[in-house]
Amino acid sequence: MGQLNTSVIGYPRIGYNREWKKALEQYWGGKTSSAQLETELNRIEAERLTTLVDAKLSYVPVQDYTWYDHVLDTAVMFDIIPERFRHEFADQLDTLKSSQSDAAGTPQAIIDVTFGMARGTAQSTACEMTKWFNTNYHYIVPEWEGRAPELLYNHPVAAVRRAKQAGSVDVSVWKPVLVGPYTFVRLMKGIAAADRAAVAKQFAVVYGEVLVALAAEGVTNVQLDEPGFVLPMNKEEWVAVKEIYTYLRAQSPSLSIWVQTYFESVSDYESFVELPVDVLGLDLVHGKARNLEAIQKLGFPADKRIALGVIDGRNIWKTDLAAVTELLTQYVKPQVPAERWIVQPSCSLLHVPLTLSSETELPEYVRTILTGADEKLVELELLAQHLANPTADTEAGIAASAQAVAEWRSLPERNRPQVKEELLRIQSSEEAWTRVPFSERLALHQARWSNLPLLPTTSIGSLPQTAEVRKARLKFRKGEWSEAAYTAYLQAEMKRWIDIQEQIGIDVLVHGEFERTDMVEYFGEKLEGFVFTKNGWVQSYGSRCVKPPVLYGDVAFVEAMTVVETEYAQSLTSKPVKGMLTGPVTILNWSFVRDDISREEAAYQLSWALRQEIQALEEAGIGMIQVDEPAVKEGMPLHPDDKQGYREWTVKAFRLTTSGVKPETQVHTHMCYCDFSDMVDLIREMDADVISVETARSGGDIVEVFAKHQYELGIGLGVYDIHSPRIPATAEMASFIESVLQVMPARTFWINPDCGLKTRNEQETIAALSNMVKAAQQAREHLTTKNT
Ligand code: GLN
Ligand code: ZN
């Protein structure tokens, strides 16, 4: 065979040194002009194009790049601009629409509207952002206001023109990438499920215009991303999808149209393969079993090519290329000959760091098993060579990858038999997973904290992380400060804030989490089983990047992680101080996790370690312990058949973490920024004595949800949004509390902000918490007058 086709779905945007982030932030900070911004962003775009071309891919994505977010770009491209921005930028948009100019450079109107929608302006609130499927990438949520779409600015054509300017490559290898019409509509806000099919059809014409224009640029391939196809869809939607693609096919006969799915198996394989397009892309890493089964059972159309996602685009471990070779030859080849394959990573490489080859400070045995985007490109090239023309060299390369993965599995440095044994031992012990019934615990808690008023006030854990706090931590980390100096600083800060909280009149205090850079990293650094990269950044939203911890081995508790600070804070006050931990599922969902054991097992290992921390806190006399689980919802599998299993093991992981405590210890948990409507049963099963949830930011809808489910355990509803510098008035919070008490019993009700306060400044925090305490007092008075 001559050559095996390869491609990638997308590639990181941020540049090797996060230059992308810097360029954007300088521009937003008013330090550079839009021309300077454009020059720098185009330079990064050209650089990544060169990397991809040098990787000898058969097809190279263009326009998977963006200045902020690809969903936002799609919205602007099709004039799905919310009325508030349309109004604010009316003059600029009018000029843009009336000018026929084809001038190079992104029009200022497009730049302003794009950043306006993403970040908000003085006049208009930003569009919401939310997680892109089950990843930690956040997209800007387009808002459907019923206006017919129009092609306002052809982003892909602009990208192709820039690529022409930057490189000498043959246009026939370029593959502009667009969010597909169904997925775009599926992710939009303001469309009832029943109307989705009809709205999607309204987009056929504008997508057609883009494709026609691309064909006119000499482009021969275009990729339409439809990860929406992995979600449950009804027949009517599939009919609409077929209609749209039939139209697009007819509009651009010279284009090879690719429809790409990822993150899970396609929800209706039969309908999918019937689409009148040229290339169909399937994820054979996430959703592998179901996709392979469908290919085997139902075959694959002879007139289409198949894009096979075989290298994990979402995780950072080296691929066993021998296993991939076998998978392809055994399961795919009998149905589709290799001439019709395109081999690629499972999804855009945007979800992994650009490279991990320069993490020289990591132990050799970890470093060599890590792969960032660039290392995955190398794997892909070797795989393709081997599949097309195996030689002794490729054979050796493939065997080496299999051997490296096998050795990694059994490496003593990451296997802790004792942890596995302990977990096996407790599997069968009922006690390890359950506490005495809530009603019994509640009586003990009421006796233990008989001083607590009705509607006790508290906060979620972190207090303002000022520049000074961050500087202190940095000095300690760099060795400029001794441990003693750093401890003294932390103690002073804790003392100051314990005093402030007492003055404000809060009932249950927190130590403030000043010692933590990040709620996951802090624990990862203290537990065995994690490593941290220096430069393993991935985009989270807009210019914001995160550096997820790497969970590479069996987890073990080494020594107490939070006791010193909590104990110190408690020594300063007679009021209860809550201990603060990050829960097992959140640690898991915000890390890169080993893939040689199940996530469930990895979660239990974390639970077991955290359980020992809780025990240490209890021994130090801490009576209330909060285990935060803000990331439970986002780890929910996309496929309906997998959801129940996930629910079960996340509940078990929480219970394993917390059920070792004495009945008189009060367990708290916290969750935020997700749709709670289908979470109440799960939360109840977690069996925490008190859950604090974010309420204010999401408009209080959640109150009804909890009221409807007659939630009987303790609950703290967030009474103000912590993302805004705005100081909520007492009356506003009081009336919110009143309205909640109409539908929920006061008996187990707590009062708190929506989430941690680390991003707020001191002044705002004091003012807001003071008003919150006053609002609670008013509500209490009201309750007593009502009852007398
Ligand atoms: N305890 C953490 C804090 O207060 C919780 C943060 C979160 O929910 N993301 O910062
Ligand atoms: Zn939170």
Q: For ligand 1, what atom is nearest to the CA of residue 580? A: 1
Around ion ligand 2, which residues have CB less than 5 A away? 630, 672, 755
671 touches ligand 1 (CB under 6 Å): no
Query: 64: which 2 tokens?
Result: 């998977």
pLDDT at 427: 81
Using CA atoms, how far apart are residues 262 and 180, in angstroms rounded to an integer? 13
519 touches ligand 1 (CB under 6 Å): yes
Catalytic residue set: 723
Identify the residue whose C-alpha is closest to ligand 1 atom 4.
756
3-state secondary structure of 153: coil
The CATH code of the domain that includes 769 is: 3.20.20.210
Assess if residue 572 is contained within a domain. Answer: yes
Do the Cβ atoms of 115 and 28 come closer than 8 Å?
yes
Per-residue pLDDT tens over the stretch 512-564: 999 999 999 999 999 999 999 999 999 999 999 999 999 999 999 999 999 99
Candidates 511, 628, 634: which one to mutate for ligand 1, based on the most atoms within 8 Å of Cβ?
A: 628
**194: Cβ–Cβ under 8 A, 6 or more apart, which residues?**
none
Assess if residue 722 is contained within a domain. Answer: yes
Assess if residue 258 is contained within a domain. Answer: no
Using CA atoms, how far apart are residues 260 and 149, in angstroms rounded to an integer? 23
Quote the ligand 2 centre to 589 CA distance (angstroms). Answer: 15
Assess if residue 448 is contained within a domain. Answer: yes
Assess if residue 187 is contained within a domain. Answer: no
**Residues lower than pLDDT 70 in the chain:** 1, 100-103, 168-169, 699-700, 787-788
693 touches ligand 1 (CB under 6 Å): no
Assess if residue 712 is contained within a domain. Answer: yes
For the purposes of burial, counting CB atoms within 10 Å of the CB of 65, is it exposed (0-12), middle (13-18) or buried (19 or more)?
buried
Per-residue pLDDT tens over the stretch 599-653: 999 999 999 999 999 999 999 999 999 999 999 999 999 999 999 999 999 999 9
Q: Where are the beta strands (DSSP E) in 182-255?
A: 221-225
Report pTM.
Answer: 0.95
Assess if residue 4 is contained within a domain. Answer: no
Counted domains in the chain: 1
The amino acid at 285: V
Q: Which of 294, 285, 265 is nearest to 640 (CA)?
A: 265
Q: Which contiguous run of DSSP H or E holds residue 147?
A: none
Using CA atoms, how far apart are residues 214 and 216, in angstroms rounded to an integer? 5
pLDDT at 788: 59
pLDDT at 783: 87
Candidates 513, 690, 755, 769: which one to mutate for ligand 1, based on the most atoms within 8 Å of Cβ?
A: 755
Quote the ligand 2 centre to 285 CA distance (angstroms). Answer: 31
Range of the domain at 745: 438-786
Identify the residue whose C-alpha is closest to ligand 1 atom 3.
756
Q: What is the crossing angle of helices 483-504 and 467-477, to 10°?
A: 160
Identify the residue whose C-alpha is closest to ligand 1 atom 8.
630
Assess if residue 112 is contained within a domain. Answer: no
At residue 514, φ and ψ (nearest 5 deg) are: -65, -25
pLDDT at 102: 65
